[in-house]
Structure 1
Amino acid sequence: MITSTRNPLVKALRQLGKSTKARREQGLFLIEGTHALSEAIATNFPCATVCYTEVWQQKNPVLYGEVLERAEQLEPVSEAVIKAIATTMNPDGVIATLPLPDSARDSGINSIGLVLETIQDPGNLGAIIRTAVAAGIDEIWVSQDSVDLTSPKVIRASAGQWFRANLRSQGDLVQTIETYKKQGIKVIATNADAELTYWQADFSQPCLILLGNEGNGLSAELAQVADLAVSIPLENGVESLNLAVSAALILYEAKRQRDVASLD
């Protein structure tokens, strides 16, 4: 059992939780907690190292058995070590490292794709990923100047749905959008000044939805490649909605329209 917080493995894992650079150098990222580990196992995501306390093992015998079959390395550790590695205040006794995913294969857009530009809040990004999976979005492209997709906060905010999302970190979003436009995919941007409300747009055909930075919205460069822009009406005196809330409204309107169209 590892009991020292000065252990080399413990030091390496602590860096994974704190630093994008460390994650890239080690080729690994960190997940925390039973729920995240369960989702990783359920989606057949490979596990590198799993650190767990004896109490956690006793409480989770079935999951422990699955981890025993899947993980490359299992390390029993003390409660103090778990707390030293964790990025949360009250870890529940298990932490794992997973290999950084390869770039997702472009599987095409059958219904809705989502493009996210310069998202800075990991909580927002995680919540959007969670909603997108629930709404059946095909793919999610995230600009490379956004918060790191493998940040523990992003994964935690996704409530485990990170492992079910088709995520792509993209350097040139304009090129990606133009490629899909040539395939007949409609591109719908969000713009607070747009006259067309989001429920007036037609999401029944395959389309890309563009969402921008929390404070500044979409860049002019991305807004210009859209086929149309939509807004979310707000009462006087209300400046804006939280980005994740805006995403949920639009994605579920798109889902509603597609579900209705499928009944015709």
Structure 2
Amino acid sequence: MLTSVQNSLVKQIRKLHSSKERREQQLFLLEGTHLLEEACAVNYPLVSVCCTPEWRDRHQQLWENVCNRATRAELVSAEVIKAIATTVQPDGVVATAPRITAQSPSLPVQLGLVLETLQDPGNLGTIIRTAAAAGASGLWLSDNSVDLDNPKVLRASAGQWFRLPMAVTGDLVSLVSQCRTAGMQVVATVPSATLTYWQVDLRRPTLILLGNEGAGLSEELEKTADLRVTIPLSPGVESLNVAIAAALMLYEAQRQQSFNP
């Protein structure tokens, strides 16, 4: 059992808290039982798995599963788990997995999201979770956003990170052009729009554009939209959280498609 935080494996995993190290090592962190279960459910490859003896005893079947999948599986002390986890109270298991190319959405999609310059990992993870729940076909993220494999993004996605087709791109304008060529309408969420989000036909194949938490959509990307919509707010309310805005748009599309086929 590994008990020293100076162990070479422990040091390597701790470095993955950093975006720079995740890129250099081409690995990312999976923290907690649920994320590990979801990774196994979709046969996502694992590199190393560290858990406490107590966790192993509670999750014998999952432990056997990850031992068969991972390149290295180690029992470690609670002190080591706390050192390699990014959470304050880890549940006893931390794994590493390779940064492989995500399953990109295939055009055209019935309902897709484009996210520009998102900075908050909790927002991105929540949007991923909501998009999967609402039946979205995929998500594209600008390359100047928070890392798609930031540990907080994975946790906030509640495991749906492994199930929703996603891609990171440095040219959202070209992507939107490809979507339009594929027959999709492009809808931008803009506070100054005159149309409300329930006044547009979202039964058509649709790409929804959502912008940065503070600045919103860039002018360049907004200009690519066929339609601009707003989410009405009561007087004195400046804006909605971007994850809430995404949820409203996604579920309005689901409502229209379900009740007005």
TM-score, scaled relative to structure 1: 0.97
Aligned counterpart, 1:174: 173
Aligned counterpart, 2:207: 208
1:226 partnered with 2:225: yes
Displacement after TM superposition at 1:20 (Å): 1.2
Give the Cα–Cα distance (whole angstroms) in 1 for the partners of residues 201 and 38 of structure 2. 34
Aligned counterpart, 2:10: 10
Q: Deviations over 1:61-104 (max 9, x none)?
A: 12112112211110111110000001000001000000002143
Counterpart residue identity of residue 221, structure 1: E
4+ long deviations beyond 4 Å: none
Displacement after TM superposition at 1:243 (Å): 0.9
Q: Deviations over 1:24-45 (max 9, x none)?
A: 1111100100011011111111
Secondary structure class of the residue paired with 1:251: helix
Counterpart residue identity of residue 117, structure 1: E
1:193 partnered with 2:192: yes
Check whether the contact 1:109–1:139 (CA below 8 A) recurs between aligned residues. no
Identity %: 56
Aligned counterpart, 1:252: 251
Displacement after TM superposition at 1:261 (Å): 3.4
1:42 partnered with 2:41: yes
Give the Cα–Cα distance (whole angstroms) in 2 for the partners of residues 246 and 172 of structure 1. 23
Q: Deviations over 1:133-187 (max 9, x none)?
A: 0011111000000000010011011111111111101100000000111122100
Gaps of 5+ in 1: none
Give the Cα–Cα distance (whole angstroms) in 1 for the partners of residues 182 and 65 of structure 2. 43
Check whether the contact 1:82–1:93 (CA below 8 A) recurs between aligned residues. yes
Give the Cα–Cα distance (whole angstroms) in 1 for the partners of residues 195 and 24 of structure 2. 46
Displacement after TM superposition at 1:105 (Å): 3.7
Give the Cα–Cα distance (whole angstroms) in 2 for the partners of residues 156 and 106 of structure 1. 22
Aligned counterpart, 1:113: 112
Secondary structure class of the residue paired with 1:221: helix
1:81 partnered with 2:80: yes
1:135 partnered with 2:134: yes
TM-score, scaled relative to structure 2: 0.98
After TM superposition, list the pairs within 5 Å mapping 1:21-60 onto structure 2.
21-60=20-59
Gaps of 5+ in 2: none
Give the Cα–Cα distance (whole angstroms) in 1 for the partners of residues 53 and 62 of structure 2. 13
Displacement after TM superposition at 1:241 (Å): 0.8
Secondary structure class of the residue paired with 1:4: coil
Counterpart residue identity of residue 97, structure 2: L
Displacement after TM superposition at 1:213 (Å): 0.3
Aligned counterpart, 1:94: 93
Counterpart residue identity of residue 20, structure 1: S
Give the Cα–Cα distance (whole angstroms) in 2 for the partners of residues 24 and 215 of structure 1. 27
Give the Cα–Cα distance (whole angstroms) in 1 for the partners of residues 108 and 133 of structure 2. 16
Aligned counterpart, 1:184: 183
Secondary structure class of the residue paired with 2:114: strand
